[in-house]
Every structure is written in structure tokens, then in C-alpha cells.
Amino acid sequence: MRKTMSALCAVLMLTGLLAGCGASGNQEEKAVDLTAFWSAEEEKYQWGEGYFAELDDELMESYYPGLGDVAVKQLITKVPMMSSVVNEMVFAEGETEEDANKIAEILQKRVDDQAAGGAWYPASMESWEKARVITQGRYVAMIASASYQEEIAADFNALFEQ
């Protein structure tokens, strides 16, 4: 009886494992809470309350022209209240992947414009040259951080690892 039960359990486990390995083009994209992600980043890098500001609609249009016209499910825009160090970030979830691509284009334009002289100072322009726009399905991040560029990019990408 024990051998039969053990064999049955082994077959059920194997069946379950194989069912999870099937190729499915319709797998739903992993849902990511960008607010929770941002809160974790603030704590991790010890940015105190008041270091960053969320952009209002008018400033958002000035920084990222057209972004307000794209359908988003989540949008976090963070700029330092006052700092000589580049530390500007946007995290967004578009309604569709097409929306995410539009968001990425708008954010890449911001990066390119700042790196080409919009940031004014050579050290700032150099930081903007290292800035990254990352797209993961419907999710997009623009990370321009002189101090934590690679770390924040890795943290964002880790959200989508399975």
C-alpha cells in the first residue's frame, strides 16, 4: 500500500510540474505595485520625507511632454525638491504595451535632452548620459540617479524575474 501511495504521489507531483512547464502565450503579465516598489526604494536608500516631490500636471507636461495623454494604470514621478545631484525617476504602468512604448519614447527624449545640454552642468549631463529607460511589458522606468543608477535599475528589473 505504501509503495502504491508513494508512486501515486510521485505521479501527481510530476504531473503538476509538467503542467507548469507548458508554453502558454496567454500567460498574464505579473502585476507589480509600483507604489510599494517606490516605498521600498525610499527606505533602502534612506531618502527622507521631503527629499523627493511628485510632479503636478503642469510640471509633468514641462518635463515629459505628452505623458499626460498616455493611458496609465500607475504613474510615479519623482524629482528632488532641491539637489545639485541628478536623481530623477519615473515608474509607470501603461494600459497596454503600446502605451508603455509611448511612455518609454517620451522618457527617452527627456534623457536625451538632458544629456545633450538640458542639464546645464557637465557632471549633470554625464549622469544623464548614464540614465536608463527600461521597459518590462506594460511597465516602464526612467532612472537617472548619479548615486544609485545601476542598483535601482537592478531593483526594478528584479520585480519581473520569475
3-state SS assignment for residue 103: helix
Which residue is listed with cell 554625464?
Answer: 126
pLDDT per position as a tens digit, 84-109: 889 999 999 999 999 999 999 999 99
User: 34 vs 11, which has greater pLDDT?
Assistant: 34
**Cβ-proximal residues to 49 (8 Å cutoff; 6+ apart), any chain:** none
Task: Using the Cα atoms of residue 83, residue 85, residue 86 and residue 89 in order, give the sign of their dihedral.
Answer: negative
User: What's the pLDDT at 28?
Assistant: 60
